[in-house]
Structure 1
Amino acid sequence: MTRKRQQFSLAQVNRLLLGIALCLIWLAGISHADSSRDALFDALKKAPNEAEAEVIENEIWRSWLEAAPSPDLQSKLETAMRLRGQYDFQGARDLLDEVIAEAPDYSEGWNQRAFVLFLQGNYEASLEDIDRTLDLEPRHFGALSGKAMIFITQGRVKLGQETLRQAVEIHPYLKERSMLIAPKGVDL
């Protein structure tokens, strides 16, 4: 029995190599996004002052917003945020409901809807969305801060303070840090 050797054309080899290269680029992009965000959080924690922390914070927010799984969903999220800014809370909520239905693993969809629910005074539903946000992105200092504000508003001050301390642990220059109550004998 003779073995027939299969030969590939140069074009077939090039297509195969191109496919492998594209897969590697795609995988590197995923890894790069994660490592870039990790680096941002490290830099935020080590920021020497509030001004530098604000620059880093803005980059983290941008990375959360741009993590939308599609341009259409990112556009819906941005439109919802614009509607929220115009006090059209129901219009914003309707769009965010769509974002969450289409991308249930996109943390910023949950976080933005939690914010709208908070503004509507629906604290329990907001807390549910915040918890989902934190399940997906445990370092979400915005969600933690919102959770603390809800607890404090509800009179659950001790729980609010604990949650706010968690947020400040992640983001030492968080604007809401001024709401922390110093334990007896400790200056903040």
Structure 2
Amino acid sequence: MIGKWQKNSTFQAGHLLAAFLLCLVAFTGAARAQTSTDDLFEALKNAPNEKEARLIETEIWEAWIDAAPTPDLREQVESAMRMRGEYNYQGAREVLDKVVAEAPDYPEGWNQRAFILFLQGDYEASLKDIKKVLELEPRHFGALSGQAMIYITQGRAELAQKTLRDAVNVHPYLKERALLIKPKGVDL
């Protein structure tokens, strides 16, 4: 009888331990998810070289896409990105119109639509979406660089330079940094 009780007790203790560990992993995973973007931005700002910065940049982009409130919305954004890659800008825009309507607090939905609007030449609408992205995620270097590209296209050079400097402040190895004009006597 004691052997059976010990067996069941060990079995129950094992289940309790497994449940505890599962809760601990879930809790620390949630905490890590909340701070991981901050950690990634800190790592990006302090990246020792461009190669490391590109790896971190990729992780940030993945985090932005992963932040979709539901798996379905994430799939819609990815679908729109595939459509964009196939030059189906109108199809991508229609999908992203639904995404931002359904998830107005999801920055990447707005950012992806801003990009489509830019590609369609609707710069003012793109700037409105970029403004929303930056309200939700002020460190969105993709939105900042897109905003700068629009300003350059519109001939608003000073504003473009300021925006690019803001973007480079977030992401020192941003590809568009080559568009910065160095003031005389200042090393960027």
Is the structural similarity TM-score above 0.5?
A: yes
Q: Per the alignment, in what secondary structure is the counterpart of residue 41 of structure 2?
A: helix
Give CA deviations for 1:59-106 in whole Å, capped at 9, x if unaligned.
000000011111111110000000011111000000001111111100
Shift, 1:28, TM fit: 4.8
Distance in 2 separating the partners of 1:122 and 1:34: 34
Instruction: Specify the code of the residue in structure 2 equivalent to 1:130.
Output: I
Shift, 1:25, TM fit: 6.7
1:93 aligns with 2:93: yes
Distance in 2 separating the partners of 1:25 and 1:79: 31
Corresponding residue for residue 164 of structure 1: 164
Distance in 2 separating the partners of 1:107 and 1:98: 14
Corresponding residue for residue 138 of structure 2: 138
Q: Which runs of 5+ in 1 are unaligned?
A: 1-17
Give CA deviations for 1:120-174 in whole Å, capped at 9, x if unaligned.
0000000000000011111100000000110111000000000000000000000
Q: Per the alignment, in what secondary structure is the counterpart of residue 67 of structure 2?
A: coil
Closer/same/farther in 2, CA of residues 132 and 27 from structure 1, 3 Å limit: farther
| CA RMSD across the alignment | 2.0
Distance in 2 separating the partners of 1:96 and 1:45: 30
1:79 aligns with 2:83: no
- After TM superposition, list the pairs within 5 Å mapping 1:1-188 onto structure 2: 28-188=28-188
Q: Which runs of 5+ in 2 are unaligned?
A: 1-18
Count of aligned pairs:
172
Corresponding residue for residue 10 of structure 1: none
Closer/same/farther in 2, CA of residues 124 and 27 from structure 1, 3 Å limit: farther
The percent identity for this pair of structures is 65
